[in-house]
Structure 1
Amino acid sequence: MPDTPHRPSVLFVCVHNAGRSQMAAAFLTRIGGDRVRVRSAGSAPADTVNPAVVEALAEVGIDISAEVPKVLTADAVEASDVVITMGCGDACPVFPGTRYLDWQLPDPAGQGLAAVRPVRDEIERRVRALLDDITAAS
């Protein structure tokens, strides 16, 4: 029986799981396809995803209108090869063997579409670089 290649697992975390982490997860899901497992969560999840974020992603052909913010769990962190935090501070549990990155990005909360677009574009750029990095390593 042939070995199946390891599919890296990535968890994106921000406070509300309503903006940055949702965008990052959506881009990695679209670009990475079945080469990677993707999750997102928040240390204090909002009730809904930021409408400007939904609209900004719709502009580039990604529909996250059915997504809901999810709570960060230790199990999700432990099950991930890479955890990318975006302003959640010390709320993220740390486990040995997990790679942690912190992406300093403006918070789109309360911002209009014009302010969200540059954040969206920077997240897409970083997600593409991350995917190249983690799939080359596996």
Structure 2
Amino acid sequence: MSDKPSVLFVCVHNAGRSQMAAGFLEHLGAGRIEVRSAGSAPGDRVNPAAVEAMREVGIDISAATPRVLTTEAVRASDVVITMGCGDACPIFPGKRYLDWTLDDPAGRGVEAVRPIRDEIERRIRVLVNELTGDRA
């Protein structure tokens, strides 16, 4: 593990919410935070509406691929943020766990994904401030 704080975002398909959150954290964290994302039942690809919504704010997540949630990813993270994956995430002592209740962008167009994206960005800015002491 590095000296940087590390965050793992988990949602069911690792194709929308968690990928947008990872994209924002990579962008706003500017290399100061390790970023991971995974899904309890990963999809085949990242949601195209999520890719487009992020592109609108200058963040490219088109190369991201859904990954399966592993015990190792949880163990290697300081903060684990779940987004609608229920009890699929293993719990380890000493980790900070947050559950962000957010609408699932699956099957929605970009218009419906924008408010989800904007709420994720708001939460990521708070998280960056908490982890680094800097306003993002």
- Partners of 1:135 and 1:94 lie apart in 2 by 24
Gaps of 5+ in 2: none
1:103 to 100, 104, 108: 100
SS at match of 1:38: strand
> Aligned partners of 1:10 and 1:81: how far apart in 2?
6
Matched, 1:52 2:49: yes
Out of 108, 113, 116, the position equivalent to 2:110 is 113
- Aligned-residue offset at 1:134: 1.4
Per the alignment, residue 24 of structure 1 pairs with: 21
- Cα distance in 2 for partners of 1:9, 1:67 equals 18
Task: Tell me what 2:78 maps to.
Answer: 81
Cα deviation code 1:75-102 (max 9, x no counterpart): 0000000000000000000001000000
> What percentage of residue pairs aligned between the two structures are identical?
72
Deviation, 1:34, is 1.5
TM-score (norm 1): 0.94
In structure 2, how many angstroms separate the alpha carbons of the residues matched to 1:101 and 1:134? Answer: 14
- In 1, distance between residues paired with 2:79 and 2:61? 22
Alignment partner for residue 91 of structure 1, among 75, 88, 92?
88
Could you state the TM-score of these two structures normalised by the residue count of structure 2? 0.95
Matched, 1:15 2:8: no
Per-residue CA deviation, residues 30-72 of structure 1 (Å, 9 max, x unaligned), is 0001110000000000000000000000001111111110000
Which residue number in structure 1 is paired with residue 69 of structure 2? 72
In 2, Cα distance between the equivalents of 1:135 and 1:97?
19
Report the Cα distance in structure 1 between the residues aligned to 2:40 and 2:10, rounded to whole angstroms.
Answer: 7
1:76 and 1:83 map into 2 onto residues whose CA distance is 9
Runs of 4+ in 1 over 2 A off after TM superposition: none
Q: Which segment is superposed worse, 10-19 or 60-69?
A: 60-69
Cα shift at 1:6: 2.9
- For 2:63 and 2:130, locate their aligned partners in 1 and report how far apart those are by CA, in whole Å: 29
Find the structure with the greater CA-based Rg.
Answer: 1
- 2: distance between equivalents of 1:114 and 1:127? 21
